[in-house]
Amino acid sequence: MGHPDKTETTPAAPGYREAKRRWETEYRPQVKGDDVRRNRSGIELKPLYGPDDWDSARYMADLGLPGQEPTTRGIHASMYRGRPWSPRMVVGFGTPEDYNKRMRDLYALGLTGLFVSPCNSHLRGYDPDEVERELLGTCGTLISTSDDMGVCMDGIPFDSESISVGDTAPYTLTAMLIKVAKQRGIQWQSLVGTTNQSDYLSHYAALHMFYRLDLPGQKRVLLDHIDWMNRNVPRWNPISIVGQHMQQAGATPAEAMGLTLSSAIQYANDMIERGKQPDDFLPRFSFFFDISISFFEEIAKFRAGRRVWNRLVRERFGAKDPRSGKFRFHAQTSGVDLTRQQPLNNIARVTVHAMAGILGGLQSMHTDSYDEAICIPTETTARIAVATQNILREEAHLGDVIDPLGGSYYVEALTNAMEEKIMAVIEAVDAQGGMFAAVKSGFVQKMIGQSALAFQQKIESRDEIVVGVNEYVYDGPSGAVPPALERPDGKKLDAYLAKLHAFRERRDAAKVAEALDRLGEAFSSPTTNTYEKVVEAIDAGATHGEVCHRVREAVGFGQPLVVV
Amino acid sequence: MTRIDPGSAEAVAVLVSRLLSGETRALAKAITKVECGEAGAAALLAAIQPHLGHATVLGITGPPGVGKSTLIDALIAELRCRGKRVGVLAVDPSSPVSGGAILGDRVRMARHTGDAGVFVRSLASRGHLGGLFRTAWGVIQVMDAAGPDYILLETVGTGQSEVEICDYAHANLVLCAPGLGDDIQAIKSGILEIADILVVNKADQPNAATTVSQLQGMLGLRSAAASGVSVVTTTASTGEGLPALADLIEAIARDRTTPAGRRRGSRGARRALANAAGDRVRERALQAEDSSPIDALCERFARGEIALDAAAAELVRLVADGEDGGE
Amino acid sequence: MSSPGLQGGRPAKVLVTKIGFDGHDRGSRIVAAFLRDAGMEVVYTGPWQTVENVVNLALQEDVDVIGISSLATDHLIVPKLMEALKTAGLGHIAVVVGGIVPDSEVGLLTDAGVAYVFHPGASRDQIVNTISGLAANARASA
């Protein structure tokens, strides 16, 4: 080949080739001949990386400096020196009062990012009195009215701290938050936060619980939401594009990143098709990922993803504003990696997850509680999870140096290899006609399902070891506090339902009916912004379920595409 | 309490009367009995013979991914609006390696699960080739006895060689998606011949009109026998075109009382018997013990000592002898 | 001689489903594939089923075993399913639950008649063998 041997031209490494040859002759006899190791994305790992694996002459093109193209080393010049990542915990259980109390406690412990996670009945688009009681309030908070949101936010500084709402189409929680801000005289136009479950493509492909409307309807409602929020609440992120669901469902880290970027490309194209300029909406795109325990792979995934996105926005969309290419993301430690066996071991796992996320340059993080594989996190275990982040920041000083692994031969080579894998996924989705078409046809679901099955088979065959599950099994006492599911107590639930009924009695019924009718009608006019009508309906006193029903009537109830 | 043998004449009689009275549990059990050839299956089929013939049986076939299940879902909705009761037999392929199967067709028909006028049963092909399963003829009869107006028979959907369905059904719907040249090829090579109604589904996609005119062109080249074939377009996801399709189907249901319609139905029994006999001969030949007469015949054939046709005739005779001897 | 999927001439027939609102289906998809690979016939539904739906599915499909996947506390609805199955004359069907069920609530399910609760980390062989055995019993007592 015409390429000169890079090691010959690396001045820092005279004699490297000779030394490496000697190392190889010593190394070979010490390992089994068939010792081939691959990471979860299928990249073969060498036992050693050196100057021949990474061309430092490409430094400026591939890495640059923090805050500069292609942002591989971080999206901000100062990273955690300027502003540490935000511990942002998903909190959701019980009644609005329960939520408020837990939130205040965690806030006192150093939480800076807020998060609202509603009950599954809410996620599926119902008011709590429409569904079976057994299903209420165990997996998220009961929120069906703006009054409920008011109780949740009592004493919580949602006007000064960014808030993430687990809000899926048609985004009633965001509308309720806006109403609460208005009621409290807060400048609602300057709210900062994220509509955290608005990425319907990922829900359709990998997590059906957030998926409510038929695909085309979902698309319309989301684009209206992005457009309305961009114009009215400019510092709000109306979309967080989610790789977490897909990776938790079984996608490899490279697949999850590639598919997420494909979704982002789809949303950007959809907005451009509406006549919007890329630099108008791209700065408000944000992302949400899973962090598995495959430590270096996750770090490389985040670094590669940041670089790919930064290039894509310029090359595909011609974005000029540097903010458009900033790959801002929240990440959550992997629940799938946690074990029911010997649950205290999970504290070690979560620590590794969290380190990978921090070294990968995330902006905010949820650390799982150690009992997450057993039940919904309790207060005690959630406190340990927050403390884990505090320890990594304050005691381990992980935030002191920006991108501390930058320049590591291994990490840079792995970042390049992950980028190749990620690009291959993006190209495969492009060939399907984009992410919308690829989830509609089941292409994405098949990819994820196959990877999930392949990984499980490795565990069954013990090619992949899970401590305490298929190796190092120990049946003795775990020492963990026996977890009990915290369930909303019956009386509290009754009181909640009574409050909901009183809310419906109290409001101006004619005004609500009129607002809901206008919402329904908005769907027959392609130029009316439907989200504006959602905000107006909530303002008028409509409940979450009422809004969802009206939107479903207009665009159809989504059914999952079941692909086995 | 002593359990009554479920294969006994007494138990079968009870099951039949419950089946005829429209009891869902009895229908489900009777299907299993006939599907799996459990004890009492023959007696059950004999007992229901006087009660057959009400249902119009429609075959629904076409290549994978063309939307058969979704079309059935939409067709059920349309037929239910017209007050018709519907039974569905949906066949999925069994794994040739494990023999297991994932039966997922009814996922697309989920909205009808709670409707007492709809009964859906998922079945696995269990190695049977031809798009259905070995005991399909009997299972269709069991379903008929329960009294639905229509029985929709969804094939595995391999696209080709699913001709047996045309002997079991009063009419066959062949589905194709617009714009796919390969589908057209598949249709040309076999199933176009068995279509009574050609359905171009996903009509909201571009090329639908082209596909329709291509199909009409192909039909035009064929004999007068094909002149009765209709080409319709549907969009199952929105329900568009379904009323017209249902009109066609209802016309077929009325028309099958004509001599032609009756003749068609009677070929089913013949086909079922021929298939079963073929399966039996095949099994015996493939599983013949070493140095048995069948094994010896196979050896002679392998050495080229006997011609194919002669060997096949000999094999049938040997299998028949074995049956007589009761093995 | 016979595969674990085979019960008296017919493969074991299993309904794999989810009740409630939760949409996590990684586990149920993998279990469905394991059962198929063990020779069973699996009726697979999407998530969000109601108790009434599951009873109707079990009734029409004449299944031997129902497997409920639950990862978001939806298992609390399973006692209602057990009641409804009995009322529908389907008491012979074995019901198993897999997913996240706290130890303290396993009794709630087994008292209601659930035959087995699989926890995270259950192996393929354990799942296949348990379900296969339950299917044989259910068939015998149908």
- Chain C environment of A375 (Cβ under 8 Å): 100, 102
On the question of pLDDT at C25 being above 70, the answer is yes
Query: According to the model, what pLDDT value does residue B226 have?
Result: 53
Nearest CA in chain B to C36: B100
- Beta strand A364-366 with B118-124: parallel, antiparallel or unpaired? unpaired
Q: What pLDDT score was predicted for residue C23?
A: 84
Of B215, B213, B228, the C-alpha closest to B188 is B215
For residue A485, name the pLDDT band (cuts at 50, 70, 90): low
Backbone angles phi, psi at A263, to 5 degrees: -65, -45
How many residues appear in chain C? 142
Q: Does B222 touch chain C if contact means CB atoms closer than 8 Å? A: no
Statement: residue B113 has pLDDT above 50 = yes
Rounded mean pLDDT of B305-309? 95
Which residues in chain C have their CB less than 8 angstroms from residue A249's CB?
24-26
Chain B, window 81-140: residues with a beta carbon less than 8 angstroms from a chain C beta carbon: 94-95, 97-104, 106-107, 110, 113-114, 119-122, 124, 126
Residue B29 burial (C-beta neighbours within 10 Å; 0-12, 13-18, 19+): buried
Q: Is C73 on the interface with A (CB under 8 A)?
A: yes
- CB–CB contact B32 C46 (8 Å): no
Asked if A123 and A173 touch (Cβ cutoff 8 Å), the reply is: no
Task: Return the structure tokens found at B4.
Answer: 């009554």
In a domain, C86, yes or no: yes
* Model pLDDT, residue A96: 93
Please give the backbone phi and psi of residue B175, each rounded to the nearest 5 degrees, phi first: -95, 140
Among positive and negative, which fits the CA dihedral A13, A18, A19, A25? Answer: positive
Q: What chains are in contact with B, requiring at least 3 Cβ pairs below 8 Å?
A: A, C
Cβ of C48 and A135 within 8 Å? no
Task: Look at the alpha carbons of A260, A264, A269, A270 in this order and tell me if their dihedral is positive or negative.
Answer: positive
pLDDT of residue A1: 37
Are the CB atoms for A41 and A255 separated by under 8 Å?
Answer: yes
Task: Write down the pLDDT at residue A558.
Answer: 76
Q: Running DSSP on this structure, what letter comes out for residue A53?
A: G
Q: What are the helix (H) ranges across A432-524? A: 435-440, 443-460, 490-506, 509-522
Residue A10 has a pLDDT of 52
In the predicted model, what is the mean pLDDT of chain B? 86
- Domain residues for C87? 9-141
Q: Which of residues 88-107 of C touch A (CB under 8 A)?
A: 100, 102-105
pLDDT interval class at A255 (50, 70, 90): very high
Q: Which of A121, A452, A483 sits opposite C26 (nearest CB)?
A: A452
pLDDT of residue A521 exceeding 70, the answer is yes
Residue C102 φ/ψ, nearest 5 degrees = -60, 145
Residue C93 is assigned to a structural domain of this protein: yes
Whether residues C44 and A208 touch (CB distance < 8 A) is answered with no
CA–CA separation, A261 and A438 (whole Å) = 13
Show residues of chain A in contact with C25, CB under 8 Å: 208, 249
Q: Which of A219, A218, A111 is nearest to A164 (CA)?
A: A111
B102 and A564 within 8 Å at the Cβ level: the answer is yes
> pLDDT confidence of A8, banded at 50, 70, 90?
very low
- Put simply, the answer to whether B107 touches C41 (Cβ < 8 Å) is no
- The number of domains in chain C is 1
CB nearest B98 (choices: C38, C57, C59): C38
pLDDT of the residue at C20: 87
The nearest alpha carbon in chain C to B114 belongs to C53
Q: What is the DSSP letter of A85?
A: P
At residue B327, does pLDDT exceed 50? Answer: no
Mutate to test the interface with B, among C56, C86, C92, C124 (most CBs of B within 10 A): C56
The helix or strand, by DSSP H or E, that contains position B73, with its residue range, turns out to be helix B68-81
Q: What is the pLDDT of residues B26-58, one digit of tens each?
A: 999 999 999 999 999 999 999 999 999 899 999
| Residue contacts between B and C (CB atoms, under 8 Å) | 87
- What is the spatial distance between Cα A416 and Cα A63, in angstroms, rounded to a whole number? 11
Q: Predicted ipTM?
A: 0.93
Residues A530 and A553: their CA atoms lie apart, in Å, by 14
Whether A63 shows a pLDDT value over 90: the answer reads: yes
Copy the structure tokens of residue A492.
Answer: 């509290």
From the CA of A124, how many Å to the nearest CA of chain C? 6
Q: Which token pair is B201?
A: 């589904």
So what's the pLDDT on residue B222? 62
Per-residue pLDDT band at A377 (split at 50, 70, 90): confident
State the CB neighbour count (10 A cutoff) for residue A47.
11
CB contact under 8 A, A562 and C23: no
- Measured between CA atoms, the residue of chain C closest to residue A203 is C23
**C1 within a domain of the structure (yes/no):** no
Strand pairing category for C10-11 and C6-7: antiparallel
Chain B residues within an 8 Å CB radius of A559:
110
The structural domains of chain A, with segments of one domain joined by +, span: 60-460
CB-based contact A559 B104, cutoff 8 Å? no
- Whether residue C17 lies inside any domain: the answer is yes
Q: Distance of CA A406 to CAs A4, A29, C44, Å?
A: 25, 32, 47
Regarding predicted confidence, which is higher, A147 or B283?
A147
For residue B104, the chain A residues in CB contact (below 8 A) are 562, 564
Q: Quick check: is C2 in a domain?
A: no
Closest residue in chain B to residue C48, using alpha carbons only: B110
Q: Find the residue in C nearest to B143 (Cα).
A: C60
What pTM was estimated for this model as a whole?
0.90
For residue B168, CA distances in Å to A547, B94, B264 come to 49, 21, 8
Between A462 and B266, where is the model more confident?
A462
CATH number of the domain bearing residue C88 = 3.40.50.280
Q: Please state, for a pLDDT cut of 90, what percent of chain C lies above it.
A: 73
Q: Which tens digits make up the pLDDT trace of A22-61?
A: 999 999 999 987 889 999 999 999 999 999 999 989 999 9
3-state secondary structure A347-406: HHHHHHHHHHHHHCCCCEEECCCCCCCCCCCCHHHHHHHHHHHHHHHHCCCCCCCCCCCC
Burial (CB count <10 Å: 0-12, 13-18, 19+), residue C80 = middle
At residue A347 the predicted structure's pLDDT band, cuts being 50, 70 and 90, is: very high
What are chain A's partners, defined as 3 or more CB pairs within 8 angstroms? B, C
The chain A residue lying nearest B107, using CA atoms, is A562
Confidence category of residue B298, pLDDT binned at 50, 70, 90? very high
What pLDDT is recorded for position C71?
87
CA distance A540 to A544: 12
B122, B134, B142, B151: which to substitute to probe chain C, counting the most C Cβ within 10 Å? B122
Q: Do C142 and B35 touch (CB under 8 A)?
A: no
> Mean pLDDT, to the nearest integer, of A123-144?
88
Tell me the pLDDT tens digit for each residue of B140-170.
999 999 999 999 999 998 655 667 788 888 8
The DSSP element (H or E) to which B218 belongs, if any, is helix B208-220
CATH of domain A60-460: 3.20.20.240
A460 neighbourhood in chain C, CB within 8 Å: 123-125
B102 CB within 8 Å of a chain A CB: yes
Please judge whether A562 and C45 are an interchain contact, meaning their C-beta atoms are less than 8 angstroms apart.
yes
Q: Is C78 helix (H, G, I), strand (E, B) or coil?
A: helix
* Exposed / middle / buried, residue A107 (Cβ in 10 Å: 0-12, 13-18, 19+): middle
